[in-house]
Amino acid sequence: MTTTLIPVVAALVLLTAVYISWRAGRLDRLHIRLELARESLDAALVRRTAVALELAASRLLDPATSLVLAAAAHEARTAGPEEREHAESDLSGALRAVVDQERFRDRLADTPAGAALLEELGTAVAKVLYSRRFYNNAVGVTRTAQRRWLARTLRLAGHTAYPDFFEIDDAPPKALGVE
């Protein structure tokens, strides 16, 4: 009796082990994807702030517009983790207010330096939009995977924190023609 049971039990143990390691491997991959997505989101936000500051300092704008942009970009750059979502949303709002001014785009596009800045701003704004959506997708899958019974019981996620969505208003200025 016991002699027939041993291989069965051994096989069961082996299968369970394989399954658990497969699930752990999957979670590990998801964490790597999440980290990369977070990095590219951070890079995109930093870049957008930099372009906004450059535009503010370009002497192509009137001083009031420059100040609106520079102030919002400065807030975004210096915000702590708690205020970051707010500050980045405010920068989106400032960019819309500035770029969607009547004839702003046409006037800026008249100079070579202005045209280059517009192009750069378009790219930066689009990348924030894209990377944030990709990051939130990664957060969604990772959260679902971490919440699974097996992952919780065996602590497959290790010390990795339960990830948070990054929620900001990133609607681009209409005049940039992004999305």
- Residues contributing to the site for another protein (CB under 8 A): 25-26, 29-30, 33, 36-37, 40, 44, 123, 126-127, 129-131, 133-134, 136-138, 140-141, 177-179
Between CA 117 and CA 51 the distance in angstroms is 7
CB atoms within 10 A of CB 57: 13
Q: How far is the CB of 83 from another protein (least distance, A)?
A: 25
Nearer to another protein, 137 or 160 (CB): 137
> How distant, in Å, are the alpha carbons of 107, 172, 175 from that of 102?
10, 16, 10
Q: How far is the CB of 140 from another protein (least distance, A)?
A: 6
Give the nearer residue to another protein in terms of CB position, either 74 or 137.
137
For 15-26, b/e burial (b = at least 16 CB within 10 A) is: eeeeeeeebbee
Shortest Cβ distance from residue 94 to another protein (Å)? 22
Nearest-approach distance from CB 40 to another protein, in angstroms: 5
Q: State which residue, 48 or 61, has the beta carbon closest to another protein.
A: 48
Give the contacts of 62 (CB within 8 A, at least 6 positions apart). Answer: none
HSE-CB for 2 with a 13 A CA cutoff: 0
CB of residue 104 vs another protein: minimum separation in angstroms? Answer: 19
Decide whether 26 or 86 has the Cβ nearer to another protein: 26
Nearer residue to another protein within complex by CB, 16 or 21: 21
End-to-end CA distance of the chain: 69
